[in-house]
Amino acid sequence: MQYYKKRKSNREVIRLAKKKANGEKKPKVLILIKIFQSLLPSLPYYPSNRNKMTVTFQQLYNARCDKSGNPHYWKPQPISATPFAFDGDFGIRESLEKILASSDYLEIDVREYTGEVWRKLQGEVSPTCKKLLQRNVHDETVHSDAIKLCCAAYPVSEKVRQEAQNISERWRSACGHPIQKAYLLEVSVFLACSLPLLLRTGGHSLTWVTTQISRDEQVHVALNKYLSVKLCGAEIPEELRQLRRDTVAWLTDGLDIAQWRINQKWFLDRSDEMVSQGASRKLTGFTSASRYAPPFEDENSKLGY
Ligand SMILES: [Fe+2]
Ligand SMILES: [Fe+2]
């Protein structure tokens, strides 16, 4: 699949810039500036080029196979509860509980949405695309198993579990194509809110699980966005748009980390960005600070021996 037009080669860009600049009879300095400006968009580190790439379904599939070409799935393991990575509360504990509770339902829901699409797709997409979708469905089973192990280590109250179930039922009963629901949940709730919060504040055990899930979800979003646009067009139903904001608002209700200026509105804005642009520079900054200290980097007093 090709997201963007093929870039001109640097030599071609220089030739066109020279031709244009010479035609306008500008001073040499201006010509050089013109050439430099023309080259900027072709540089790999130019900001707007960071997301530009051409990737095929086969490449996405191959990237997640072992050396013999067979699909490789990571295996969730029982985890022990480790301290959260923050001092104080700021509503983070409540948000993490809601994230685990909701993920316990929503990972299964996303598996069912994508599974339904996989079963119904016939000649609309290539066999490789369908194979990749099938693989993604299996990923969701792995995610669900991993979240269940997290919930065993970090108990979730019955009240929060009930609220999470209500959210799940609202998604199930909402209008819209299953692939739109899967795509929106992954890009605007999981990648924009749940996973970054777990990654940044969850501590050692949750960070490890979250890292594995995040890698998979990025591939899922790439495929599901493509399928969503192909099967339903670019327009997302208003009910689903409102529902993803309600979900993020519920997850982050009461969250207020004043020292980082992170609160409910911040996550709603990031969710909007992820839907409209597919990326968020502020979110990247938030998660890139999540490197947790392994035991040998902790103070001796924390090592427990
Ligand atoms: Fe997932
Ligand atoms: Fe997914």
Q: 218 alpha carbon to ligand 2 midpoint, in Å?
A: 8
Q: 220 alpha carbon to ligand 2 midpoint, in Å?
A: 5
Q: How confident is the model at residue 294 (pLDDT cuts 50, 70, 90)?
A: very low
Instruction: Flag whether pLDDT at 33 surpasses 70.
Output: no
Q: What is the DSSP string of 249-299?
A: HHHTTT-EEGGGTEEHHHHHHHHHHHHHHS--HHHHHHHHTT-PPPGGGS-
Residues with a beta carbon under 5 angstroms from ion ligand 2: 186, 217, 220
Q: 190 alpha carbon to ligand 2 midpoint, in Å?
A: 9
Q: 260 alpha carbon to ligand 1 midpoint, in Å?
A: 28
CA Rg, the chain, in Å?
Answer: 22
Ligand nearest to the CA of 194: 1
Instruction: Flag whether pLDDT at 42 surpasses 60.
Output: no
Q: Is the CATH number of domain 77-300 1.10.620?
A: yes
Q: 139 alpha carbon to ligand 1 midpoint, in Å?
A: 7
Q: For 26-30, 203-207, 288-292, which range has the lowest pLDDT when averaged over its residues?
A: 26-30
Residue 301's pLDDT is 40
For the chain, give every domain's residue range.
10-49, 77-300
Rounded Cα gap, residues 242 and 171, in angstroms:
11
Residue 49's pLDDT is 46
Q: 104 alpha carbon to ligand 2 midpoint, in Å?
A: 13
Q: 13 alpha carbon to ligand 1 midpoint, in Å?
A: 42
Rounded Cα gap, residues 250 and 270, in angstroms:
15
Rounded Cα gap, residues 11 and 149, in angstroms:
55
Q: How many beta carbons lie within 10 A of that of residue 77, not counting itself?
A: 11
Q: How confident is the model at residue 89 (pLDDT cuts 50, 70, 90)?
A: confident
Instruction: Flag whether pLDDT at 40 surpasses 50.
Output: no
Q: 203 alpha carbon to ligand 2 midpoint, in Å?
A: 22
Q: Would you state the structure tokens that stand for residue 91, as one six-digit string?
A: 């509503």
